[in-house]
C-alpha cells in the first residue's frame, strides 16, 4: 500500500513540477510574446500536440496528387494566406512570425518535415490553440483539398527556387503603399524607370 502511494506521489511530482515551473516562467515574463520558449516548454508542447491528434488522422495519406498544377495552386494559396507569418520560403522570418508566441517555426526544418502528412493536415485544418496558428479548414477533412495541397507545398519548401519565391512575392497581400512600390519596381525592371524605388522592409 505504501509503495503504491509513493508511486502516485512521484507521478504527481513529475507532472506538477514542470507545470508549476512553466506557470512561474509565464508570470515572471508578464506573458510577454517576446520571450523565447525554453527547451522543456517546446518538448511538452510538441508531445501534447502529437497526443491531441487522433492516431487515425496521423496515419492519413494525402488524397491530392502532387502534380505540377496542384503545387502551383498550393504555392499561390500559401503566398496569399500563409506567407504573412511564415514567409514565402517558410522560414518564419517575418514581422509577425518573429513577434508571436511561440515564434513561427521554420517549416523547412526537420521538426516540421518529419511530421506525417496527416499531422501536417490536422494542424492546417484545425489550427493550434494558444498559438497564432489559425484553423484554415472547412468541412470534413476528406473534402478540404486546399489544406491537403498545402501539405504538398510544405514538403516542397526545402527545394523552393528563386523563381518560385519571386512569383509568390507578387501574390502576397499588400498595403496600398507596398503595391505602389511594387509597381514602381516592375517599371524599373522593364526599363521604364531610371532608378528602383527606395528600399524598405518587405514583410513577406
- pLDDT the model gives residue 91: 97
Q: Is the pLDDT of residue 30 over 90?
A: no
Residue 81: is it exposed, middle or buried by C-beta count within 10 angstroms (0-12/13-18/19+)? middle
Cα dist from 10 to 1, 7, 15, 144, 146, whole Å: 14, 5, 9, 45, 46
Residue 195: is it exposed, middle or buried by C-beta count within 10 angstroms (0-12/13-18/19+)? exposed
- pLDDT the model gives residue 72: 97
Q: Any idea where the domains of the chain sit in the sequence? A: 35-173, 177-204
Taking CA 168 as the corner, what is the angle to CA 163 and CA 171, rounded to the nearest 5 degrees?
Answer: 140
- pLDDT the model gives residue 200: 54
> Closest Cα partner for 165 from 109, 73, 76, 88?
88
Query: How much is the average pLDDT of 113-128?
Result: 96
Query: How much is the average pLDDT of 95-124?
Result: 95
Q: Which percentage of the chain shows pLDDT scores above 90?
A: 50
- pLDDT the model gives residue 133: 93
- pLDDT the model gives residue 203: 44
- Which tens digits make up the pLDDT trace of 125-166? 999 888 889 999 988 888 899 999 999 999 999 999 999 999
CB 146 within 8 A of CB 138: no
Architecture of domain 35-173: Orthogonal Bundle (1.10)
- pLDDT the model gives residue 60: 93
pTM here is 0.73
- Between residues 153 and 12, which one has the greater pLDDT? 153
Amino acid at each position: 500500500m505504501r509503495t503504491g502511494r509513493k508511486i502516485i506521489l512521484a507521478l504527481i511530482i513529475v507532472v506538477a513540477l514542470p507545470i508549476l515551473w512553466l506557470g512561474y516562467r509565464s508570470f515572471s515574463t508578464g506573458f510577454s510574446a517576446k520571450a523565447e520558449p525554453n527547451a522543456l516548454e517546446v518538448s511538452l508542447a510538441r508531445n501534447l500536440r502529437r497526443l491531441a491528434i487522433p492516431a487515425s488522422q496521423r496515419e492519413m495519406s494525402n488524397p491530392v496528387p502532387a502534380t505540377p498544377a496542384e503545387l502551383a495552386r498550393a504555392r499561390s494559396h500559401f503566398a496569399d494566406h500563409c506567407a504573412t507569418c511564415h514567409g514565402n520560403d517558410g522560414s518564419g522570418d517575418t514581422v509577425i512570425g518573429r513577434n508571436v508566441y511561440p515564434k513561427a517555426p521554420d517549416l523547412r526544418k526537420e521538426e516540421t518535415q518529419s511530421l506525417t502528412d496527416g499531422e501536417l493536415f490536422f494542424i492546417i485544418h484545425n489550427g493550434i490553440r494558444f498559438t497564432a496558428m489559425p484553423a484554415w479548414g472547412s468541412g470534413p477533412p476528406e473534402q478540404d483539398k486546399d489544406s491537403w495541397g498545402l501539405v504538398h507545398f510544405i514538403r516542397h519548401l526545402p527545394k523552393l527556387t528563386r523563381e518560385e519565391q519571386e512569383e509568390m512575392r507578387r501574390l502576397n497581400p499588400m498595403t496600398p503603399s507596398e503595391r505602389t512600390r511594387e509597381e514602381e519596381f516592375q517599371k524599373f525592371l522593364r526599363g521604364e524607370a531610371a532608378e528602383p524605388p527606395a528600399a524598405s522592409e518587405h514583410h513577406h
